[in-house]
Amino acid sequence: MVSLFDEISVEFENPPGDALGHDGIEGRFVCTPDEALLHWKRQDRAFRKSGATTIPLEYGDLESVTYEAPWWRAKRLILKVRKPEMLSAIPGAELGCLAMFVTKPSRENAAKIPEFVDFKLSEVYMAGSVRRLDATRGQEEMP
């Protein structure tokens, strides 16, 4: 069981989709109690080394996270965000959706992430509802 004070992280490696191998990425998706972090970098090649980039994602920015684990195929964690420009720099991301191919050691954690993110999204929605309710109550009290 994952408590609210734990971090869940998943390592991923997306193979290159082009013949020259320019758009292969690797990284880590981390869910903390306050926000989600997407660390990624292009896969290193003989004459090209790249640094890692971190994208902080508030839980309100996430639309959904799903885990697909079909038999005999690669396991994927699919991240969808509300603003597509947040993931536009990542090779392979399309319209705010990024499919991350989960490595074997991270599969157990990858199965836990969708429930954790759903819980965090419910907290965000609840806070928004309370804020709207307080705003309407404040308008009713004014003469």
What domains appear along the chain, each with residue ranges and CATH number? 8-141 (2.30.29.30)
pLDDT tens, position by position, 76-104: 999 999 999 999 999 989 999 999 999 99
Confidence of residue 5 (pLDDT cuts 50, 70, 90): low
Mean pLDDT score across all residues of the chain: 88
Q: Are 30 and 7 in contact (CB under 8 A)?
A: yes
Q: Rounded to two decimals, what is the model's pTM?
A: 0.84
User: How many CB atoms neighbour CB 72 within 10 A?
Assistant: 4
pLDDT at 3 over 80: no
pLDDT tens, position by position, 25-58: 999 999 999 999 999 998 877 677 778 999 999 9
Name, in order, each residue with C-beta under 8 angstroms of 112's C-beta and a sequence gap of 6 or more.
2, 8
CA distance 25 to 102: 12
Share in percent of the chain as helix, strand, coil (round to 5): 30, 35, 35
